[in-house]
Amino acid sequence: MLPTAVLDSLAKDGKVRADSRATFGTVGISVVVKEGAPRPDISSKEKFRDAMLAARSVVHATPGKTPSGTHMGKVMEELGIADTMAKKVIFKPALDGGVQLVVAGQAEIGIYPASEVAGVKGLTVVGPLPADINLEIVYGAAATTDSAAHNAASAFVKFMAAPENRSVWKEAGFEPPANLNSN
């Protein structure tokens, strides 16, 4: 499972089988707080900016290390608050303890891909970033051309993309892409 842009590159290089490819869904970036904590207003770019400035601490992935971290670095620059935020941002990937900093109250706000915070106990998902500053990554899969079991791999990819399995993807923080391609 990879972002479709990566799958496109692998297909171009002949590394994945085009006939086995499927798109699973999109993942955007969500804002989270500790369960029971006040939910900041992030309903617009301006409100999100205000929430960042008002927060005592924010955690997100390191710019340059992950797509969401890189995107958040750009967003902070675009909003004109990068210098101010540098004093209160903790760089830690969600799955490497970042969400636990929010659960423990060591970071007031977390900003991570929805798939990395879905179902985490002790967190409240405030919502996605405003559409004009969100990053949506489309994920899919394909069997590799060098797979010894390409038929089984292709069948597994198709099973994972089947409409009857969409609820599992939704629970995991994925939204169906606008142009769903499940061939």
Instruction: Note the pLDDT tens digit of each residue in 80-126.
Output: 999 999 999 999 999 899 999 999 999 999 999 999 999 899 999 99
Over residues 45-94, the pLDDT tens digits come to 999 999 999 999 999 999 988 889 999 999 999 999 999 999 999 999 99
Q: Are 111 and 119 in contact (CB under 8 A)?
A: no
- Which stretches does DSSP call E strand in 54-180? 58-60, 89-91, 109-113, 123-128, 137-141
List pLDDT tens digits, range 116-138: 999 899 999 999 999 999 998 88
Sign of the alpha-carbon torsion through 5, 96, 85, 42: positive
Contact between 111 and 102 (Cβ < 8 Å): no
Quickly state the pLDDT bin for 159 (edges 50, 70, 90): very high
Count the neighbouring beta carbons within 10 Å of the beta carbon of residue 135. 17
179: confidence class by pLDDT, cuts 50, 70, 90: low
Average pLDDT over residues 14-41: 94
Sign (positive or negative) of CA dihedral 69, 71, 77, 81: negative
pLDDT at 178: 66
Question: Comparing 151 with 179, which gets the higher pLDDT?
Answer: 151
Listed by start position, the domains of the chain span: 2-26+137-171, 29-133
The pLDDT, as a whole number, for residue 107 is: 98
Fold of 29-133: D-Maltodextrin-Binding Protein; domain 2 (3.40.190)
Q: Look at residues 97, 122, 155 and name the one whose alpha carbon lies nearest to residue 34.
A: 122
> Residue 183 pLDDT more than 50?
no
Higher pLDDT, 153 or 183: 153
